[in-house]
Amino acid sequence: MARAQVFGEVAELYDAARPGYADALVAEVLAYAALGGRAALEVGAGTGKASVPFAALGTPLVCVEPDSRMAEVLRRNTVRYPGVRVEHGGFEEWRSGGRRFGLLLAATSWHWVDPERRWDLAHDALVPGGAVALFWNPQGVRDAELHAALAEVDQRHGIVGAPHAEMASTYGDVPGNWAGVPGWPEEECRRDGRFTDLRAVRFRQERRYDTGRYLGYLASLSRYRVLPPDLREQVLAETARVLEAHGGGIDTEHFSDLFLARVR
């Protein structure tokens, strides 16, 4: 199974444990897009972590989701919003049927789209002047002692890129500054040349997870899903012991980094 589609194994856990997106971010996207009644297209909608707050503000949405189990939870979470349509399939294979959208959004999913095709696909899906909104939720640990203890667990088991892998202080003040981790789309979009009015915005929130919720969050991540089950359980158990020894949870600085652009 492709790593991008391992989330469906734990769709309910993903829905319960994954953090959502700041209300201010949703407002920023809608103000920028100025949809005027046009529908938005969401790529890799998952269980609706971003779909729901956009739909709750009256945004008509077509949500494309490649995993049928995630799409099932997404349909349940958006059933109260008649303007939401869920379409099962990968964005690379999806067909618009002649529809063009005023906004394309991707919430912690753009990096899963084929890098050779994603800007072509985005451009073809949007009306002239249509907006692109791509956003992620990186986070950093606030307690240096806890960070060091968790790093020992990860190093022992070869875990790379866990949500607690960085101190909050390493992210600085610039959106997309992810402690050297690639993926921020600005340079790629600028090279494409068909988009203009590029912007980057960061939102911050302090967030505390108790041990149980944090383990659920980790278990929903692809880097943990691809581990052999016995190793995954061992890593999570050792992580739990560290968290319990440090107050029964983890305090994080939670960033929502937003990239905006529009079709020329």
Q: What would the pLDDT profile of 68-93 be if each residue is shown by its tens digit?
A: 999 999 999 999 999 999 999 999 99
| pLDDT recorded at residue 212 | 94
- List Cβ neighbours of 176 (8 Å cut-off, separation of 6 or more): 184, 186, 200, 257, 259
The per-residue pLDDT for range 181-196, each reduced to its tens digit, is 668 999 999 999 999 9
- Count Cα atoms within 13 angstroms, Cβ side, for 50: 31
Give percent above pLDDT 90 in the chain: 80
Residue 214 reports pLDDT greater than 90 = yes
Rounded average pLDDT over 159-180:
86
User: Quick one: CATH architecture of 3-139+171-206+255-263?
Assistant: 3-Layer(aba) Sandwich (3.40)
Strand 249-263 versus strand 61-65 pairing type = unpaired
pTM of the full predicted structure? 0.88
- How many whole angstroms separate alpha carbon 115 and alpha carbon 110? 9
- How many whole angstroms separate alpha carbon 101 and alpha carbon 40? 6
Residue 1 reports pLDDT greater than 50 = no
Calculate the CA 188 to chain-centre distance: 18
Rounded average pLDDT over 99-119:
96
Q: How far is CA 84 from CA 63, 113, 180, in A?
A: 7, 22, 36
Residue 203 reports pLDDT greater than 60 = yes
Residue 243 reports pLDDT greater than 50 = yes
The per-residue pLDDT for range 130-163, each reduced to its tens digit, is 999 999 988 999 999 999 999 999 999 999 989 9
- The pair of three-digit structure tokens given for residue 167, joined into one six-digit string: 């101190």
Q: How many CB atoms lie within 10 A of CB 66?
A: 24
* Cβ pair 206, 252 in contact under 8 A: yes
| pLDDT recorded at residue 11 | 73
Burial of 257 (0-12, 13-18, 19+ CB in 10 A): buried
CA angle 103, 105, 107 (to 5 degrees): 165
Of 4, 39, 8, the C-alpha closest to 113 is 4
| pLDDT recorded at residue 182 | 66
Domain ranges of the chain: 3-139+171-206+255-263
* Cβ pair 260, 198 in contact under 8 A: yes
**Phi, psi (deg, nearest 5) at residue 228:** -55, 140
Strand 249-263 versus strand 195-210 pairing type = antiparallel
